[in-house]
Amino acid sequence: MAWNEVTDEPALRHGPAEGARAARRAPPLRCQSLLSPASFCPHARGMTSDKEARRDALIALSRRHVWPPYTSPERHEEQEPLVISSAEGPWLVDENGRRYLDGISSWWACTLGHRHPRLVRALTDQLARLDHVGAGGITHPAVAQLAGELVKVAPAGLTRVHFSDDGSTAVEVAIKIAFQYWQQTQRPTRRRFIALSAAYHGDTLGAASLAGVTEFFSIFGPLLFEVVRPAAATSWDEVVEEIERLARLHADELAGIVVEPAIQGAGGMRMQPPEVLRRLRAVADEVDTFLIADEVFTGYGRTGTMWGCDQSQVTPDLLCTAKGFTAGVTPMAATLATDRIYDGFRAAPDGSTRALMHGHTFCGHPLGAAVAREVLAIYREESILDGIRVRAELIAAHLAGLQGRPGVRRARALGMVGAVDLGEGGYGGAAGPRFYQAALARGLYLRPLGDSAYLCPPFNIGLAELRLLLEGFSEAIDEALAG
């Protein structure tokens, strides 16, 4: 696989209003400015050989001991990695002092930028009171209050929250909940899930079983459970019709339908019309199975609304969130469920327990819970969703302008995501690596999904910086397509 690393994404640490004021104050920016001495930290302009030696030593140490994700040993030993030593707002700073505008929010997670002062303060304040406590028979203020606040902003009807560690685990919890529910409510034949082609739901074995992005998981095939999956189609209409047919055909076996609402992320930023989720909700109701929404990427405003489900005004039976849940500050995730599902875990008629058989050491971790609460407070008090609308319009207008350029396929945008395809090579395409290098040369950190070039910046990125990112995105596309 020529291009198999999905990427990271940082954001600005100021609120939208402050970011807009900063953009108005700032002089006009052009991509070339990122290559000028001004793009270096002041202390780096006279970078000494000692700093070069330190950077080389860090790379050597990494190559000797670190086993990085989605990277072959040969590539790890030969490629020249970025060595990032600090970050602030939407900017990454390397050991040489050069700044990179992070256009993908560090694997889609840093939705409020790096080191937002309120999140730093929430983390340190919580650490001064309580660092960690097990979840068995214990609650604590941060996690109890977070659960209540999360339910208030969730789609109506989701009332219960199970906390975990990351997006993959949140999905794993959801499919375990669905499976166990049916096993202990007199419908034990319901063991199978419908998942989409080009789906990606995480790397743990249950989540990997749902994946349709075969480049990631084909080697693990013998370990994965079977999934009901519609064949690849030329339109979303055809996809949904096939899912409806399969759901009716396998109704007595179906534990749930799993979907990334509005956008399939790692599958190439494939965007769905709102009617897709509405029809999946309708067929799940028809056959009485669960609709499971993987909002790890799409939740917390990435699509322009708080949840991808809000684009369709649909409430799923189970919803998974991570990444923006803590704005990339701490690893934490949540799986939300309805009362119907929660009540299916009450004691059996004979009195035997039917508790959910899942739990991790760091369930409801106090540090993560405190940060997640502050993220919600920032959304309320800094009008994050309102700020997204302005930025989403800029992204959509710019992407529309790319449509029709020679070599550019399927220019598309939704919320804080813009994407184009530079070829039909998928994860094995040759244009993606050229795009990455061209963006990097312009001081932009933009790692494509194979031949799908995309950007999804922090939600509160300054308007001047967003324009800079969009301009550099276009220039990198032109260079990549020129070969």
Same domain membership, residue 398 and residue 374: no
- Residues 367, 401 within the same domain: no
Residue with tokens 């009362």: 339
Residue 149 and residue 291 share a domain: yes
Whether the Cβ atoms of residue 291 and residue 280 lie closer than 8 Å to each other: yes
What confidence score (pLDDT) does residue 10 get?
32
Q: Which residues are catalytic?
A: 70, 200, 294, 323
Bridge pairing between strands 158-164 and 99-102: unpaired
The structural domain count of the chain equals: 2
Contact (Cβ atoms closer than 8 angstroms) between residue 112 and residue 384: yes
Each residue's pLDDT expressed in tens, for the chain with a length of 483 residues: 333 333 333 333 334 334 333 333 333 333 333 433 334 444 444 455 788 899 999 999 999 999 999 999 999 999 999 999 999 999 999 999 999 999 999 999 999 999 999 999 999 999 999 999 999 999 999 999 999 999 999 999 999 999 999 999 999 999 999 999 999 999 999 999 999 999 999 999 999 999 998 888 899 999 999 999 998 888 999 999 999 999 999 999 999 999 999 999 999 999 999 999 999 999 999 999 999 999 999 999 999 999 999 999 999 999 999 999 999 999 999 999 999 999 999 999 888 999 999 999 999 999 999 999 999 999 999 999 999 999 999 999 999 999 999 999 999 999 999 999 998 888 888 999 999 999 999 999 999 999 999 999 999 999 999 999 999 999 999 999 998
pLDDT of residue 48: 59
For residues 325 and 299, is the Cβ–Cβ distance under 8 A? yes
Q: What is the pLDDT of residue 426?
A: 82
Whether 297 contacts 260, CB under 8 Å: yes
User: In which domain, by residue range, is 126 found?
Assistant: 117-381
Q: How far apart are CA 39 and CA 414, in angstroms?
A: 30
Domain's final residue, options 346, 381, 416: 381
Any domain includes 186: yes
Q: Is the same domain home to 296 and 372?
A: yes
- Give the contacts of 175 (CB within 8 A, at least 6 positions apart): 193, 206, 207, 210, 255, 256, 258, 292
Say yes or no: 220 and 333 in one domain: yes
Give the 3-state secondary structure of residue 228.
strand
Domain boundary among 352, 381, 410: 381
User: Residue 387, Cα to own-chain centre: how many angstroms?
Assistant: 19
